[in-house]
Structure formats: C-alpha cells, structure tokens
Amino acid sequence: MESWLESANGHPEFPVQNLPFGVFRPRGGPPRCGVAIGDCVLDLAVLEEDGLVDAGGPRPVFAQASLNGFMALGPAAWARVRERLTDLMARCGAPDISSSAMARRRTLHDSADVELLMPVRIRGYTDFNAARQHAYNAGRILRGENDALPKNWLHLPIAYNGRASTVVVSGTPIRRPWGQRLRESGDLPEYAPSALLDFELELGALVGTATSLGSPVSVAEAEELIFGYVLLNDWSARDIQAWESRPLGPFQGKAFGTTISPWIVPSAALSQARVAAPPRDHELLSYLAETRPMHLDVCLKAEIVPAGSDAGAIVTQTNSRHLYYSIPQMIAHHTSGGCSLDVGDLIGTGTISGPEPQSWASLFELTHGGSVPLQIATEDRTFLEDGDSVRLRGHAQVGEYRIGFGSCDGRILPALGS
C-alpha cells in the first residue's frame, strides 16, 4: 500500500502503514492532535472540524492539547479512526484531501514548521526491570556474581513507581540533579550534584483504557488496553540511586526526569512485529500465561553527542525482543493485586540490554560501573557530562517498510548553583 503523499512512500519512519499519534502546535496556532506521515503532520482537529474524521464520541476530541480524550473512547474508536486515516491517505483511497489543494493546505503541515508537544497527560508512571541481561549486569556490578539475579526475578516482572510529574517530551533539557551520595573517602553521605549520570534505553507503553480498582486483568486483556508505544529514556543518577535504594528501591536517583518520544506508535501498526517469548528457566504462574506471541521485534539504538561537538557515536544497538517479560505481562502483574490503571498511565520496560556487550543499554553496563571508559568520537566517557546529548531511535521492520518512533532526545544541563 502506498500513499498519494509521495514523501510517505519509502519513508524511514512514517509510511502510511504507521500513522502514529501526537500533539503539535502549528506556527501561529494553538496545540492540537495530529498524525505523522512522511515529512508532514496531518491535522486531526481540522479533519474533525470538516467532518472527514469522526472518533465517535459525544464531543470533538482532537482540538485539544492531549490525546487523553481520544484514548478514553476505547479500542473501537482507535480502530475506526485509524481505518479512516488510512483510507484518506492511501493512494487509492478516498479523494477528500488528495484531490483538493485547499484541503491539503488546511490539513497537512510541514514537519519542520511545527512544534511537537507532550502527547498525553501522564497519570501514573511505572518502570519495570524486564530485561534479564540488564538485571544480571547491574546485579553483578553491585552485588557480585553469586547474587547477581534475585531469586524472584525469574518468576515476576519487578518494577518501581516513578514520577509522572517529571515525564517530559523529546527535546526537553534534563537538569543534573542534586542528592545524597556516598563520599568516596568513607561511609558517610554528602549532598552534591550527581557525578554518575546515565541514560537507559527503553520502550514505553501508554494505557488507553482504564481498569477498575480491585479487578485484575489477564495478559490477553492487558494487550487490549495498550493505546500505543513510545521510546523512553529513564535517566538515572547512579550514585544517588546506589545510596538510597536499599531497602525500598529507587527514589531521587530516578525522579528528576524521564524522556519519551512525541509520537505514539499505535499497537495496530506493530501487529506484524510480534514475536514469541524467549526460553524461560521456570514455568510462570498461570496469571502471567501468554495466549500468543506478545513480545515486539523493535530495533533500538542510542547515540551520545559530547558537549560542544556536532558529531556523536552510537554506543549501543539492541532489540526489544530481548525482554524476558512482555508489556502485557507487565500490565497483568501490575493489576494482579487489584491496582487500577488510568487512561494516560505510562509503563516502562526497564533498560533493554541484549546478550552481547555492544547491546548493553546504559553507561553503567557499558563501562562496567564506570571502571572502563567508553570512547565517544574523540572523547572518553564513563558517565554523562554537562552539555552531553543522548539520542534514542527505534523502528520495527515489517516486510519492506519501517515503523519508526521519531526522536527521543535530551541534553544535560549543569546542576543548579554549580
């Protein structure tokens, strides 16, 4: 299937098979919902106003600064709108836009001329630790080989609840945090800017259907709750995190910032990118049973651009198929004790490290806890320095076309007062 919009055909991220949702501000206009296609952004608010798209709700949902209203309409509305947009943009589809120069001017914006905004009001944020290699690597560095992987890890997807208030969209600078960290010369802490600032390469899933308090959902039901997926960088202050984590886990070492990509790739766009779970050491309990392949085959990479440089280096390349637990399993476990989920909840996979060193997806792992510097362009890094930028990219290869996620970028600002 091709589009009458030529830039969409063969586009490396946004062909007509993708149609990811987001929120943007056109030049001189208010925020509204849109869809990325080729080198353009399709204006859903104008399409809705002109009667070309109907989400089926009691009131308009696209002339808003978030997608929450549309998401809350549920899977039938998501499918109906996606089918209509495909019909409008396909080469042999409805001629409503393609045949009218005025309609094209009203509904299509050049991507370079718009500002991409936070696509969703994040209601809650939970970050899992679902890649076995990352869990093992981190445990080995912190606790030694014999205690690297906790006994419970092979039986349940472990997670912590993060801060929804500090989830930001790609391009938002990240301020180096202050916090308690252990002094190098002793057992007492000091209050200082983090010296061990890191990135984590992850996927995120946006919950589009709320669940009821006290009512667990199955893995199959959990899959139907997912509106779509984003790239996610859960920035980490390793020195603050190491001092605070026992006994209750991360807090200030994670709470200062989480970056997501602005485009939400619909679950339907990744339906042909699903793969089977990896071999497991133990049979999982029945409430985590998968009824079909639910893992995703998404290629991921992270690039670091050192401060003051225009040239960076790709420091890791990995794939979401390395996750031990699928995102539907994470959601099912999240609700298994009766916890309810809201429209706009964000589920992070945790760092997606693969089996080879070049696929380890954080500096903590790549530098063996900071003991082995990593060469980036002409500079060495153990952890991020002020002015460094991290760029995450990802795509699923489906036949001859790519389903891309857009950018997930952030630059480190100096700590306040430093």
CA dist., res. 363 & res. 381, Å (int): 9
CA dist., res. 337 & res. 241, Å (int): 27
Query: Among 207, 204, 262, which Cα is nearest to 75's?
Result: 207
Task: Tell me 167's DSSP state.
Answer: E
CA dist., res. 130 & res. 202, Å (int): 10
Q: What is the sign of the dihedral through the CA atoms of 163, 164, 166 and 167?
A: positive
Class of domain 125-413: alpha beta
Name the region of 369 (left: φ>0; alpha: ψ -120 to 50; beta: rest): left
Coil/strand/helix, residue 288: helix
Query: Among 56, 75, 77, 67, which Cα is nearest to 33's?
Result: 67
Q: What is the sign of the dihedral through the CA atoms of 141, 368, 278 and 201?
A: positive
For residue 181, the model assigns a pLDDT of 95
Q: How are the residues of the chain apportioned to helix, strand and coil, as percentages rounded to the nearest 5?
A: 25, 30, 45
For residue 98, the model assigns a pLDDT of 83
Buried b / exposed e across 322-358, counting CB within 10 Å, b at 16+? bbbbbbbbbbbbbbeeebebbbbbbbbbbbbbbeeee
The predicted model scores a pTM of 0.96
For residue 177, the model assigns a pLDDT of 98
Token look-up 């209509």 returns 84
Instruction: Compute mean pLDDT per 10 residues along the chain, 418 residues long, and list them.
Output: 95 98 95 98 97 94 98 97 97 84 92 97 98 95 88 96 97 98 89 98 98 98 98 98 92 97 98 95 96 96 94 95 98 98 98 97 96 91 97 96 97 94
Superfamily of the domain at 6-117:
Fumarylacetoacetase, N-terminal domain (2.30.30.230)
Pair 20, 406: CB distance under 8 Å: yes
| Token pair in block for residue 209 | 């259907």
For residue 344, the model assigns a pLDDT of 98
The residues with which 311 forms a beta bridge, in sequence order, are none
CA dist., res. 382 & res. 294, Å (int): 35
- Annotated catalytic, 368? no
Please calculate the CA angle 32-394-231 and round it to the nearest 5 degrees: 50
Fold equal for 6-117 and 125-413: no
Fill in the amino acid letter for 263.
Answer: W
Buried b / exposed e across 364-389, counting CB within 10 Å, b at 16+? bbbbbbbeeebebeebebbbbbeebb
- Please report how many Cα atoms fall inside a 13 Å half-sphere around the Cα of residue 363, on the Cβ side: 27
- Please report how many Cα atoms fall inside a 13 Å half-sphere around the Cα of residue 70, on the Cβ side: 33
Coil/strand/helix, residue 291: coil
Q: Which of 109, 134, 322, 395 is catalytic?
A: 134
Pair 96, 87: CB distance under 8 Å: no
| Token pair in block for residue 215 | 């009512």
Domain layout of the chain by residue ranges: 6-117, 125-413
For residue 115, the model assigns a pLDDT of 97
